[in-house]
Amino acid sequence: MQPGDVFAAVSRRSVVTGGLGLCALVAWPRVDEALHPGGPGRETDSPALRHDADPAGVTRVRTAERWVALTFDDGPDPCYTPAVLDILREFGCRATFFAVGSNVEAHPDLAARVVAEGHRLANHTHDHLWLDRVDGATVTDQLRRGGAAVAAHDPDGARLVRPPRGWTSRVVAARTRDLGLRSVFWSACLESALADGPTRAGEEVAARLRPGDVVLAHDGGRIAGPNPQEIDRSRTVEALPRLLEQLRRDGLRGVPVQDLIAAGQAGESSEV
């Protein structure tokens, strides 16, 4: 491979259970075990399993730039998104917000602020359903409706999608590809380290980052609708300045994942 190739390889340290961060969670009853490349009862909760299901998905990017992608899921949320935006502005960083379509529709002012401040939106489905356990028609509907909500504020942003919790399947990958979209996963998760406290979490996660990493965090705690959640993200907000301070000390720049992908080549790699 040449510098700039997009690839799905990532350190095994990113396979986490994450506590409140929900980066990788316990098993859940499924609709169709045959959808899962890992076999019955297995989530795609590791980079290897995600890559097996969706080889075109992005986990990190090989690039000569000293950039890492900052990504935030589950918003926009009036409880946390404004604070995250304020912190990003303070440190001069930009990010991608993988937004839930129903939250975009409920808080269009926040979605507009995200874009106005130089960040990007991307598709996190309309209702935050677990895509690996619904039928293909529902997958397509969730991607289309979530993308439409995002495209109202950031038309190009809707081309990237992150399946909730990173749980995917070959069916999800096929429906994503059929819609001309591309999945984005992550190589590091801020919430995975919160058990050590917000201060240490931000510093520890940032210290392990290398150019091309994709960082997962969350700006959304509340999701209404068919798959509701209510999660306290205040510790993520508290940890974020520490992470960004460490990035600055290490000479790394936080950018939207769209910019990181553009800094690499367009092809995929089979490395895992």
Pairing of strands 67-73, 60-61: unpaired
CA–CA gap between residue 123 and residue 145 (Å, rounded): 9
Residues 6+ apart with CB under 8 A from 167: 43, 44, 45, 130, 131, 132, 133
pLDDT, average across residues 84-93: 98
3-class secondary structure, 218: strand
**Contact by Cβ (8 Å): 72, 84:** yes
CA–CA gap between residue 26 and residue 67 (Å, rounded): 32
Kindly report the number of other CB atoms within 10 A of residue 219's CB atom.
Answer: 30
**Contact by Cβ (8 Å): 192, 18:** yes
**Given the structure tokens 């899921």, which residue do they identify?**
73
**Contact by Cβ (8 Å): 123, 71:** no
Measuring CA to CA, which residue among 263, 237, 256, 223 is closest to residue 63? 263
Q: What is the CA radius of gyration of the chain?
A: 17
Please write the tens of the pLDDT for every residue from 22-64: 443 322 233 333 344 434 446 999 999 999 999 999 999 999 9
Residue 22: the pLDDT is 40
HSE, side-chain direction, 13 A CA sphere, residue 41 = 0
Residue 42: the pLDDT is 67
Distance of alpha carbon 269 from the chain centroid: 20
**Contact by Cβ (8 Å): 75, 108:** no
Give the chain's count of helices (H) and strands (E).
Answer: 9, 12
Catalogue the active-site residues.
Answer: 73, 218
State yes or no: pLDDT of 2 exceeds 50: no
State yes or no: pLDDT of 210 exceeds 60: yes
Helices marked H in 107-197 — which ranges? 108-116, 136-151, 170-178
- pLDDT-derived band at 264 (thresholds 50, 70, 90) equals confident
Question: Residue 141, exposed/middle/buried by CB under 10 A (0-12, 13-18, 19+)?
Answer: middle
The model's pTM is 0.86
Residue 168: the pLDDT is 97
